[in-house]
């Protein structure tokens, strides 16, 4: 259990806020849902009396309040300058999504969160702003801004994750990089980015569960942990390779779909930056994987004590098996 029973009410209201934003017929109702979502997530961050959690909660509140202020300010222009209002609204949602160039707050807040809260911030907290963002892509200028933000997110998410030892910051910059693919998918259609979003959520879930189980927050924590087994090494390795979009793992399927869409739309320049960034992110994923591979070498770790990991739950095994669904993809072409 990640949260005490007393905090499930906040989790329920967090989901309720997202549902209000998604199903609202006005921007005022969407704003109310976003505020409810934000105020429900802050108590979940400060689950324990910890200075790092309190600092992250304060930073998250200030950034989201700035995004809400931009959203409210955009409503002032809807009467006379509706086009300008849509631009301000678009920028406010980019800030709430931590998409470049408004990514600055995301890695720092992730650094101060526990793994379950980090998973919520990477997945559920981005669902409502992304759906609201898809409502705004009615003009070519906003689509061009989306492509520009996607290119920046791809480059910053790839370059920012280099030479980091903090696992939470590595996952944070990885999330910024994946946001670039989802922004491209949003400009193409709602079904594409929803498919990518759910695949990404299922892939990142076993990583969070595993790191939370062994309380690993840096690469040195992985080295000093008592869970250096073939089970953990394969779990981390396969999941990170799937997260990097390496075929034939499941994470390659949504990226392949978006690559085909971008080729059909002649978006070759954004596609070049996204593919280059995917290679760079795969490099810093391999840094985490190689740590496990080296430690499993008996010549190096013969004097280390090994402890059987107590994380082999059915949910975790199902999560890691999800990464191998991509192996079944060739069967689809043979059957059709």
What is the C-alpha separation between 237 and 239, in angstroms, rounded? 6
Q: Which helix (DSSP H) or strand (DSSP E) does residue 191 occupy?
A: helix 190-214
What is the C-alpha separation between 213 and 73, in angstroms, rounded? 43
> What is the pLDDT at residue 130?
94
Task: Decide if 282 contacts 244 (C-beta within 8 A).
Answer: yes
> What is the pLDDT at residue 297?
57
Each residue's pLDDT, cut to its tens digit, for the chain (336 residues) gives 456 777 888 999 999 999 999 999 888 899 999 999 999 999 999 877 777 888 999 999 999 999 999 998 888 887 778 888 899 999 999 999 999 899 999 999 999 999 999 999 999 999 999 999 998 888 889 999 999 999 999 999 999 988 888 999 999 999 999 999 999 999 888 888 999 999 999 899 888 888 888 888 988 887 776 655 666 677 778 888 889 888 888 889 899 999 999 999 999 999 999 999 999 999 888 888 887 777 665 555 444 444 444 445 666 666 667 776 766 665 545 445
What is the C-alpha separation between 100 and 118, in angstroms, rounded? 19
Number of H helices, E strands in the chain: 17, 0
Question: How many structural domains compose the chain?
Answer: 1
What is the C-alpha separation between 327 and 201, in angstroms, rounded? 19
Q: Which of 9, 68, 8 is nearest to 38 (CA)?
A: 68
CB count in 10 Å sphere of residue 172:
27
Q: What residues make up the domain containing 48? A: 5-335
> What is the pLDDT at residue 144?
92
> What is the pLDDT at residue 171?
94
> What is the pLDDT at residue 316?
63
What is the C-alpha separation between 44 and 39, in angstroms, rounded? 9
How far does Cα 133 stand from its chain's mean position? 16
What is the C-alpha separation between 143 and 92, in angstroms, rounded? 15
What is the C-alpha separation between 171 and 44, in angstroms, rounded? 20
This prediction has a pTM of 0.90
Strand, coil or helix: 48:
coil
> What is the pLDDT at residue 213?
81
What is the C-alpha separation between 326 and 129, in angstroms, rounded? 29
**DSSP characters for 26-89?**
SHHHHHHHHHHHHHHHHHHHTSS--HHHHHHHHHHHHHHHHHHHHHHHHHHTTTT-HHHHHHHH
> What is the pLDDT at residue 311?
46
Contacts of 324 (CB under 8 A, 6+ apart): 238, 249, 250
């Amino acid at each position: 259990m990640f949260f005490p029973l007393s905090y499930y009410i906040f989790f329920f209201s967090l989901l309720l806020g997202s549902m209000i934003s998604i199903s609202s017929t006005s921007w005022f109702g969407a704003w109310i849902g976003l505020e409810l979502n934000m105020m429900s997530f802050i108590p979940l961050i400060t689950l324990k009396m910890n200075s790092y959690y309190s600092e992250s909660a304060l930073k998250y509140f200030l950034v989201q309040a700035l995004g809400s202020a931009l959203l409210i300010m955009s409503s002032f222009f809807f009467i006379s300058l509706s086009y300008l209002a849509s631009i301000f609204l678009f920028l406010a949602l980019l800030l709430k999504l931590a998409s470049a160039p408004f990514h600055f707050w995301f890695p720092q807040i992730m650094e101060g969160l526990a793994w379950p809260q980090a998973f919520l911030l990477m997945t559920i907290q981005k669902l409502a702003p992304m759906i609201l963002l898809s409502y705004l892509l009615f003009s070519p200028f906003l689509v061009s801004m989306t492509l520009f933000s996607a290119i920046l997110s791809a480059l910053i998410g790839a370059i920012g994750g280099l030479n980091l030892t903090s696992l939470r910051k590595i996952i944070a910059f990885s999330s910024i990089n994946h946001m670039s693919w989802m922004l491209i998918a949003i400009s193409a259609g709602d079904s594409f980015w929803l498919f990518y979003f759910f695949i990404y959520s299922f892939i990142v879930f076993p990583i969070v569960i595993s790191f939370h189980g062994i309380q690993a927050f840096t690469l040195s924590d992985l080295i000093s942990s008592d869970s250096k087994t073939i089970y953990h090494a394969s779990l981390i390795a396969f999941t990170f390779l799937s997260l990097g979009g390496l075929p034939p793992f499941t994470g390659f399927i949504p990226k392949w779909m978006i690559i085909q869409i971008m080729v059909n739309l002649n978006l070759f320049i954004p596609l070049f930056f996204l593919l280059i960034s995917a290679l760079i992110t795969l490099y810093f994923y391999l840094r985490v994987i190689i740590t496990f591979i080296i430690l499993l070498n008996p010549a190096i770790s013969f004097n280390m004590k090994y402890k059987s990991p107590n994380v082999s739950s059915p949910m975790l095994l199902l999560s890691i098996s999800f990464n191998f669904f991509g192996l079944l993809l060739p069967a689809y072409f043979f059957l059709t």
